[in-house]
Amino acid sequence: GAVVSQHPSRVICKSGTSVKIECRSLDFQATTMFWYRQFPKQSLMLMATSNEGSKATYEQGVEKDKFLINHASLTLSTLTVTSAHPEDSSFYICSVGGGGTNEQFFGPGTRLTVL
């Protein structure tokens, strides 16, 4: 399957600052990437679908101006958490659609802590 990396793996920031998380598909050209958020001891919640070369599609209740997604190439999507607050602290995971395989391949996740 596709190999997906995320950077950074862990980030701590002050409230009010912005944080950028990168998701890279290392061996697969991904026209679609997905961003999930996972709170402690909870399931993954889809935040948005990132489409290469076009605007991301956000799930209901997710603020597009707060969670900026850029998918400028077939191997890179970025999620920027703007003006982060403590309630944004979470585990953010990206995934890559596997083309015709119907499955998704997940990155290792990024743990964001906002102080």
Name residues contacting another protein, limited to 19-38 (CB under 8 A).
32, 34
Q: Looking at 4, 79, 81, 112, which residue binds another protein (CB under 8 A)?
A: 4
- Least distance in angstroms from the C-beta of 57 to another protein: 9
Residue 44 touching another protein (CB under 8 A): yes
In angstroms, the CA 21 to CA 91 distance is 11
Kindly list the residues in this chain that would bind another protein in the complex (CB under 8 A): 1, 4, 6, 32, 34, 42-44, 46, 49, 91, 93, 95, 97, 102-109, 111
